[in-house]
Amino acid sequence: MTTSNETRINEWFVPRFGPLKFRIFVGLLFLPYTGMCVSFAVIGSLIAIDFSWERVGAIAAIYALALGISAHAADTLGSRKVKPWGNYFSKKDLLMMMIGSLAIAYGIGIYYIVFFVPFLAVIAVLEGFFLLAYNFEIFGGRFHNDFWFAVSWGLLPTLAGYVIQTNSVDPLPLGIAVLTALASYLEIRMSRPYKELRRRNASRQEIERLEVGLKILSLGTIASALAFIGFRVIFS
């Protein structure tokens, strides 16, 4: 029988209400960490002097779909380790989630690439590569490590946000992208031992130390993006 620790149903980001499968689906999305990635894309988009709110929404939707649903479904499908969320969704369910959400994300991206920002195609290709290489551990798992995690879900989203507005990359967004990559690297460095402690039923004190750090990092990032949105609403 699968325990609550193995399913991670008691994680702080999983709702305490609703049917079990709904709660598991929300857990699969890892919303605080997906929120970090979407926040990076939003911040990158709002760095541009001249920007479109439509494109801010578009890049946020792309990353919410591509990471929140598709990449996490792919991670459950492709990992060499047993993934608890996979106990509640069949391979067919996960494959449909992965392909369907990725198709919508790329459909939005291709529209902007074809008509407005062709340079976004470079990031789209790189992100697609990392989504498959990281989560399915291809090339002997060479890209399944903390560095490439930080590049794919920390650095590139910020650049994508800027590119969808400007069709270019400049020193300022590149510097901010390095900072968001560092934040993403810190998140994964805390997340791995945190998951291991939970799996081993470690003491609450040990788990809480890392959990608090993850909450501060993820929720702080999301709050920063919301503050940035508020600033641009007021002063644009």
Q: How would residue 220 be classed by pLDDT, with cut points 50, 70 and 90? A: very high
First CA to last CA across the chain, in angstroms?
56
Would you list the domain boundaries of the chain? 29-235
- What's the rounded Cα separation, in Å, for the pair 13 and 124? 29
HEC assignment per residue over 21-44: HHHHHHHHHCHHHHHHHHHHHHHH
> pLDDT tens, 148-164?
999 999 999 999 999 99
Distance of CA 138 to the CA centre of its chain: 20
Model confidence pLDDT, tens digit, residues 60-93? 999 999 999 999 999 989 866 656 666 788 899 9
Query: For residue 224, what are its two tokens?
Result: 């920063």
Q: In this structure, what token pair is assigned to residue 54?
A: 């439509």
Q: What is the pLDDT of residues 194-213, one digit of tens each?
A: 988 888 888 888 899 999 99
Residue type, 208: E
Length of the chain: 236
What pLDDT does residue 124 have? Answer: 98
Report the distance separating Cα 231 and Cα 42, nearest Å.
Answer: 13
pTM comes to 0.94
- How deeply is 213 buried, as exposed, middle or buried, from its count of CB atoms within 10 A (0-12, 13-18, 19+)? middle
CA–CA gap between residue 165 and residue 52 (Å, rounded): 7
The angle that helices 156-166 and 31-47 make with each other, rounded to 10 degrees, is 40
- As a whole-number percent, the residues of the chain with pLDDT over 90 amount to 81
Q: What is the pLDDT of residue 86?
A: 64
